[in-house]
Structure 1
Amino acid sequence: MKERLPCEFFLVRYVPDVVKGEFTNIGVLLREAGNAADGAKTENAVVRFTRDWSRVRCMDADADIGLLESLEGEIAERLRMSATDPKPVLALLQDTLSNSVQISEARASLAESIPAELEQLMRMYVEPLKVKLARQRSGRAVIAGAMRSEFEQAGVWGMMRKRIAASLYTRAGDPMKIDCGYRADGADGMIRMFQAVSLEGDVEAAKGLAYSAPRLREGVLRVESARLELTAVVESPRAVSDAEDEAMERYRFGVDAMEQQEIQVVTIADLARVAEMARAELRV
């Protein structure tokens, strides 16, 4: 039998009201308790946050999800910079995190491997309702999840801006948030933004993005001195092709509405190519 790795893990918790003390686990930080027996360098510490923020939103409707998502990348970067001894980094995080985000005391575990143990801990402590939630997730949530997964696999998710406020470029009070984006590395410095848009039920999201596109481009040019390429990620036509004719007509209407406003429309099947382009432009 393969010898198991002695590890310790910490739960990352969101605590919207410190006085009440209520919290929900949003992530796991896992590290090996010691180096490999042969002295070889090991992957000492990894962190992962949830991909489904529904429980956080239930506890705190005003939670800054973009800030929480960016925190995962910040912790991962600090761990990479101190790969030989992450303990000081953990102590620093304990001291510097706000009261609304806390790290639990260390708990021991024995792992077959770091990736396998991380998956297990996420299922046990962070996403215990994963199977039930997966059945309920559809439409935009599925598209957004696929988009994030592809960008993560390409190694660029941590370098991207998330939940970009349209009001930065349009006008105060605009509630729209763009899922993610980045500035391409090059002479022109084009800014690319990506939005998950579901055409499965209705086309209101597509119409809203089409309406906002010209103002977003003008604002990005004014504020960032750069051109904006806006991309909508939608379901494959196959997802609605077996439905009634009216559903397919709505799908085509939504695509046409966005393309008329010079929004690039790609499907989930195109995400690997999009992520590879991002990897090349960000020079990862």
Structure 2
Amino acid sequence: MPERIQCEFFLIRYVPDVVKGEFTNIGVLLREAGPSSGRDESAVVRFTRDWSRVRCMDADADIGLLEALEGEIAERLRHSATDGKPVMQVLEDTLSNSLQITEARAALAESIPAELEQLMKMYVEPLKVKAERRRTGRAAITAAMRNEFERAGVWGLMRKRIAASLYTRPGDPMKIDCGYRAELQRATAGGIIRMFQAVSLEGDVESAKGLAFSAPQLREGVQRVEDARLELTAVVEPLRSVSSAEDEAMERYRFGVEAMEQQEIRVVTVSDLARVAETARVELRV
């Protein structure tokens, strides 16, 4: 039997009202235990993907900000491994007033990834009900995107909920789901930034039209701000998901795809995500 790894973990809690003291666990930080050396190469963090309990406690909770915080913590932990900053100081610097972290608790792990998964099930994720609702539309696409990028080990290296206003104009409400700067073997002038947006074509095509409308400004803005070429990818459902519907639904689907492709937006389906994630893994040198 392989020797288990001595670990310690911390629960990250959402506390909408510190006076009431009510909270719900939203994440876990796990690291190997041992004499403190000021370096935390093993530290990993994961937040929940199901924000239903947070929404029940606080209908006005900024879920996008909480999701982005996971990536920010992970990025700071990576830097702490090289600059010697203790993990607890990283968390104290990063967490907002509505988030708290528990004291360390001990754990014995077969592996860090397996233990993190188990802790998430035990302390964070809500119990699954038998009649669980199947995710559809954009929610299903975004979940599939995250799953594949996580499987490839690159999700933590990607930017999340990228504000289009950084590249277009102030007040633009659009957020691009995720993206990264590609590390190419043959570096092009300024490089390439790849961005990915989940676009559901099951119901209507307004989101496709909106992305197509914004694409030229995004492309110009990325060139100006980042000195890089933008490759914008829309991830959609496969056509077969609407093939049994009425002809009008299929026509809307084709219209949405064509509208985006006319603006040089690369369109892929969820079936292509494994290949897309593998490309990201190579380009980010994971």
Cα distance in 2 for partners of 1:160, 1:267 equals: 20
3-state SS in 2 of match to 1:272: helix
| Aligned residue in 2 for 1:201 | 203
Pairs within 5 Å for 1:267-282: 267-282=269-284
Residue 176 of structure 1 and its aligned partner are, at CA, apart by 0.5
The whole-number CA distance in structure 2 between the counterparts of 1:260 and 1:167 is 22
2:38 is aligned to none
The equivalences for 1:19-58 within 5 A come to: 19-31=19-31, 45-56=43-54
Stretch of structure 1 that moved more, 257-266 or 72-81 = 72-81
User: Cα distance, 1:91 vs. partner?
Assistant: 3.3
Q: Kindly state the Cα deviation for residue 126 of structure 1 after the two structures are TM-superposed.
A: 1.3
**Mapping of 1:60-99 within 5 angstroms?**
60-63=60-63, 64-74=65-75, 76-77=77-78, 89-93=86-90, 95-96=92-93, 97-99=95-97
Deviation at 1:209, TM superposition (A): 0.7
Partner deviation per Cα, 1:114-163 (whole Å, 9 max, x = no partner):
44433232123211144579524221112112212222222322222111
Aligned match for 1:182, one of 180, 197, 201: 180
Aligned alpha-carbon RMSD (Å): 3.0
Distance 1:248 1:279 in 2: 34
CA deviations 1:174-231 (Å, max 9, x no partner) are: 1100011122232331221110111122211111111111121122222222221110
Provide the TM-score with structure 1 as the length reference.
0.81
Contact preservation (8 Å) 1:78, 1:89 = no
**Residues 1:254 and 2:272 aligned together:** no
**CA 1:114–1:133 in structure 2 vs 1: closer, same or farther (change >3 Å)?**
farther
Task: Name the stretch that deviates more: 160-169 or 222-231.
Answer: 222-231
Contact 2:75-2:157 at 8 Å conserved across structures: no
Paired residues of 1:47 and 1:75 also in contact (CA < 8 A)? no
Could you tell me how far apart the structure 1 residues matched to 2:113 and 2:203 are?
36
CA distance in structure 2 between the partners assigned to 1:106 and 1:10 by the alignment: 5
Q: Secondary structure of the residue that 1:222 maps to in structure 2?
A: helix
| Whole-angstrom CA distance in 1 between matches of 2:24 and 2:33 | 25
Matches within 5 A, 1:106-125: 106-109=104-107, 111=109, 114-125=112-123
Q: Do the aligned residues in 2 keep the contact of 1:14 with 1:102 (CA within 8 Å)? A: yes
Query: Whole-Å Cα distance in 1 between the matches of residues 111 and 76 of structure 2?
Result: 21
Task: Report the identity percentage.
Answer: 75
TM-aligned CA distance change 1:283 to 1:95, over 3 Å: closer
Paired with 1:134 and 1:76, the residues of 2 have a C-alpha distance of 35
Q: Count residues with an aligned counterpart.
A: 273
Q: Which moved more, 1:69-78 or 1:119-128?
A: 69-78
The SS at the match of 1:241 is coil
| Cα-to-partner distance string for 1:16-50 (whole Å, 9 max, x where unaligned) | 44334333211112345569xxxxxxx96543222
CA distance in structure 1 between the partners assigned to 2:76 and 2:130 by the alignment: 29
Residue 40 of structure 1 corresponds to which residue in structure 2? Answer: none
Alpha-carbon distance in 1 for matches of 2:87, 2:212: 44
Describe the shift of the 1:125–1:228 C-alpha distance in structure 2 as closer, same or farther (beyond 3 A). Answer: same
Rounded to whole Å, the distance in 2 between the matches of 1:248 and 1:32 is 52
Contact kept, 8 Å, 2:7 with 2:109, in 1: the verdict is yes
CA drift of 1:81 comes to 5.5
Q: Secondary structure at the match of 1:21?
A: coil
* Residues 46 and 79, structure 1, Cα contact 8 Å, conserved in 2: no
Higher mean displacement: 103-112 or 143-152 = 103-112
Contact between 2:236 and 2:267, CA under 8 Å: does it hold in 1? Answer: yes
- Can you list the C-alpha shifts for 1:62-96, whole angstroms capped at 9, x where unaligned? 351353132342365267669xxx9x834324543
Structure 1, unaligned runs of 5 or more? 36-42
In structure 1, what is the equivalent of residue 215 of structure 2?
213
- For residues 261 and 241 of structure 1, what CA distance do their matches in structure 2 show? 25
| TM-score when normalising by structure 2 | 0.81
